[in-house]
């Protein structure tokens, strides 16, 4: 919780993470935030089916007002999976 954490990545790079990140991360409860947001606005979550960072995310406790769209792709939707993601985002934002 002090200093800088070094996180090795699959691509050989290293991400430096300051201690402040971990202190804030402990306090964060993303599901609570998403559920509150779904009560205030139309919320759509886009889930990468082959997410190599988050893994298989459990949305079973997500507010039923929220919509989840699952798409093929890794965490960054690299390569051929990027265009379908862009198409979905365009459709969602151009309502």
Per-residue pLDDT tens for 19-56?
999 888 888 888 999 999 999 999 999 999 999 988 88
Q: What letter does residue 42 receive in the DSSP assignment?
A: -
pLDDT, residue 95, reads: 60
> Cα separation of 34 and 95, whole Å?
21
Indicate the number of domains in the chain.
1
User: In which domain, by residue range, is 85 found?
Assistant: 4-93
CA distance 90 to 12: 33
The model's pTM is 0.72
pLDDT single digits (tens) 55-75:
888 899 999 999 999 999 999
Separation of alpha carbons 85 and 95, rounded Å: 16
Does residue 14 carry a pLDDT above 80? yes
DSSP tag of 62 = S
| Strand runs labelled E in 1-95 | 4-8, 14-18, 44-48, 67-71
């Amino acid at each position: 919780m002090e200093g800088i954490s070094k996180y090795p990545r699959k691509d050989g790079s290293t991400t430096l993470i300051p201690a402040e990140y971990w202190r804030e991360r402990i306090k964060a409860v993303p599901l609570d935030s998403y559920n509150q947001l779904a009560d205030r606005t139309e919320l759509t979550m886009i889930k990468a089916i082959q997410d190599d960072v988050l893994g298989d995310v459990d949305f079973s406790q997500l507010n039923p007002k929220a919509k989840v769209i699952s798409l093929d792709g890794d965490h960054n939707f690299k390569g051929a999976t990027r265009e379908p993601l862009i198409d979905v985002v365009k459709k969602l934002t151009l309502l």
